[in-house]
Structure 1
């Protein structure tokens, strides 16, 4: 069963988020976890493609085909499926990608930023991407070993998988891949962001984690703790103003900052 931890204080939350971050080989505290914060504990790890509803798996190819057709060719560095998926996800197209961050604090932000959900328990999901990648097919594991990397890049993936149909057929069982998208703009950089993708468009990552509980944990943030976390994050400058550079992020930060509790 997937480990589920309910924290009751700021200190307990830090301990849960930074657990297992000691790397004996490096002699450093270097976590191997991907984090994703959600404002409602009932939310699943479903992609925007899944939330589209209907025959979404059949529509995936059409969505991306038309995005490529109508988007300016210069929006991608290279004409590869992984560059197109990264850009499409960034600009809001429903895709099978899921956004994650290396930063526990940024995950905490997304778990507490929606003050309309302040009376509902939040959650931070943590997935050990090194353990997840031990389940990858040989061709992808060898690519990681060849590069001496723990997380894939769009360049590495492009050398191995050139289409969605190849991705669907690369493994007998569903597997989760974590990769770093191109640094399209400051939002990706400031959010310390990277992505996961399943080899099947119909597999939600929380369902996959239930089958591989050794790869992650679920950290529940009670509603009563949210305001303390939110205020401390604001003082640490983990805000919309930083994570969404520009006037839209500034406006979102000010709206939340001046809203009554």
Structure 2
């Protein structure tokens, strides 16, 4: 995997809006450039043998199915679709989230809490991973996701508005504890000092919380960010009095 640092805001936005890959491509944004490509279930504490870990993974999905059934509008038809849904709502799985939209990946690479973005603390470097020309499957794939023997790229049907709004796709990994690396990956580091300006430009392009996270939670997050940003702009959070800073932090 090759690694590059994009050093200016102009080059970052050109990458995200004008990048044309040779073939189909997917992007993944991470808030910290030191984060590697390991599925969330592979980051859980070890419980011994690989077989025991697979059983735990299956148990997690069974529990999710039972408790989520009454909350879904379109019921997933197989484990591929259930894993897709569970991944988007935070269940540890063998999937890694990707998107076909580089702006969405850039959002996740720079999406610190609003309190962090408008503080005077130094932000960590983020990164956007680019994956080109991998092996595509869909939910009709004949092998169960717990039985695959190679890393595949999975395009789920639209069973969640989050999948649709985030232009989501996934990689599915046979050995979730292994770091994903291939010559078809490229890593672009986003300097921390550019993140505030990137988030501001993304908001102009309407890449905002209410679109990334459709629903009431996304609306609430978007309103908080909008009000926070306007308060900082109008009153100067970095130079305001101690009292004003306390008020802004409470938003």
Give yes or no for TM over 0.5.
yes
* The one of 152, 157, 161 aligned to 1:182: 157
Matched, 1:227 2:196: yes
1:12 match: 11
Question: Structure 1 residue 244: deviation in Å?
Answer: 1.0
Judge conservation of contact 2:76–2:159 (CA < 8 Å) in 1.
Answer: no
Question: Structure 1 residue 204: deviation in Å?
Answer: 2.7
Per the normalisation by structure 1, the TM-score is 0.74
Question: Structure 1 residue 227: deviation in Å?
Answer: 1.4
Judge conservation of contact 1:57–1:202 (CA < 8 Å) in 2.
Answer: no
What is the total number of aligned residue pairs between the two structures?
217
User: What's the RMSD between the two structures over aligned residues?
Assistant: 2.4
Judge conservation of contact 2:85–2:160 (CA < 8 Å) in 1.
Answer: no
Per the normalisation by structure 2, the TM-score is 0.77
1:194 match: 169
Runs in 1 of length 4+ with deviation above 6 angstroms?
A: none
2:41 match: 49
Gaps of 5+ in 1: 24-30, 134-150
What is the CA deviation profile of residues 96-152 of structure 1, one whole-angstrom value per residue up to 9, with x for unaligned ones?
111110001010111112143761111111111x1x32xxxxxxxxxxxxxxxxx32
Looking at structure 2, the residues matched to 41 and 22 of structure 1 have their Cα atoms a distance apart, in angstroms, of: 22
Gaps of 5+ in 2: 48-52, 238-251
Per the alignment, do residues 162 and 39 of structure 1 end up closer, same or farther by CA in structure 2, a change over 3 Å counting?
A: closer
What does 1:1-261 correspond to in 2, within 5 Å?
A: 2-17=1-16, 21=20, 23=22, 32-55=24-47, 56-72=53-69, 76-78=75-77, 80-115=78-113, 116=116, 119-128=123-132, 130=133, 132-133=134-135, 151-155=136-140, 157=141, 160-162=142-144, 164=146, 166-167=147-148, 171=149, 175-205=150-180, 209=181, 212=182, 214-257=183-226, 258=228, 260=232
What is the CA deviation profile of residues 198-218 of structure 1, one whole-angstrom value per residue up to 9, with x for unaligned ones?
12222232xxx1xx2x20111
What is the CA deviation profile of residues 68-97 of structure 1, one whole-angstrom value per residue up to 9, with x for unaligned ones?
34443875342x221221222233221111
Per the alignment, do residues 234 and 162 of structure 1 end up closer, same or farther by CA in structure 2, a change over 3 Å counting?
A: same
Per the alignment, do residues 66 and 60 of structure 1 end up closer, same or farther by CA in structure 2, a change over 3 Å counting?
A: same
Question: Structure 1 residue 54: deviation in Å?
Answer: 2.7
Looking at structure 1, the residues matched to 16 and 130 of structure 2 have their Cα atoms a distance apart, in angstroms, of: 8
Question: Structure 1 residue 221: deviation in Å?
Answer: 0.6
Mark the structure with the bigger radius of gyration. 2
Helix, strand or coil for the counterpart of 2:80? helix
Per the alignment, do residues 163 and 253 of structure 1 end up closer, same or farther by CA in structure 2, a change over 3 Å counting?
A: closer
